[in-house]
Amino acid sequence: MDLEAALLGFGLPPQPSIWAVPGAVISTDSDVSIFCRTPPGVTRVHLYYDEPYGKWFDHTPEGAQEVFEFCQQDMTHISAGIYYCEYTKGGQWSQTNDKLQMVVTGVYKEKPSLTVDTGPQGFSERNVTLLCHTPHSFEIFILCRGGNASLPQNCSHQSHSAFLISPVSPGNRRTYRCFGSYKSNSYLWSLSSDPLELSIPESPCVPFEQELFRIFFRCQFSHGSSSNHFFVS
């Protein structure tokens, strides 16, 4: 028995789902489309915006429509927060646990920088520490994996600026960005740092020199020779 049939057995309408395109992390003044998926035959759909003002948007279905698009233009600090969908069918409103956390970046104009800690504790064979430097005293530091940081589930939040990346597989490439925020509204982020691409070499290496976002490693090979390779840019 699927979830929809189980819910109907208890007299509860199936829960709608929600997602955002191009993603749930949006830069200031950008556009985003929020989608709600419902069962067929609903008579009305609401997109609710919980924080901080508690507003909603209406959509009237056309025929057997199941997916509804709500276009949000020029996202600003007042657009960030929690969104969720509800619908009515047969005179009964649905419930929802599926909520979308919309983040707006660039609200704070300070731009962090992201570097690799090449100190004795910052780099080991499989562990790397990334440092998010900010010119402002942010209370929350966010590290996102991926080129565009569009999904909150790809981001880690913490109260200090050093992020331990573990484990890192040799030969694997990853791209990271970091942001700063405050506890008063964690959906508002700073500008993004420049992307940092992290690549761990196949052979055992130790940090040799750091220059801006470039990390050089001195690799010791079995025959005793050494050479410098460019692995992170």
Cβ(47)–Cβ(85) under 8 Å? yes
- Using DSSP, state whether 26 is helix, strand or coil: strand
Owning domain of residue 100: 3-105
Tell me what the pLDDT averaged over the chain comes to: 79
Closest residue by Cα to residue 80 from 121, 117, 118, 50: 50
DSSP category for residue 79: G
CA dihedral sign, ordered 229, 156, 75, 22: positive
pLDDT tens column, 125-175: 567 899 999 988 899 999 999 766 677 778 999 999 999 987 666 667 889
Do residue 94 and residue 115 come from a single domain? Answer: no
Do residue 171 and residue 65 come from a single domain? Answer: no
Domain boundary among 105, 128, 149: 105
Counting the structural domains of the chain, the total is: 2
Closest residue by Cα to residue 232 from 111, 116, 148: 116
Closest residue by Cα to residue 72 from 38, 102, 95: 102
Do residue 147 and residue 197 come from a single domain? Answer: yes
Q: Give yes or no for residue 177 having a pLDDT over 50.
A: yes
Predicted local confidence at residue 167, as pLDDT: 64
pLDDT tens column, 16-33: 999 999 999 999 999 999
Domain boundary among 55, 78, 105: 105
Domain boundary among 56, 87, 105: 105
Look at 3-17, 147-161, 187-201 and tell me which has the smallest mean pLDDT: 3-17
Do residue 100 and residue 191 come from a single domain? Answer: no
Which CATH number does the domain housing residue 170 bear?
A: 2.60.40.10
Do residue 99 and residue 16 come from a single domain? Answer: yes
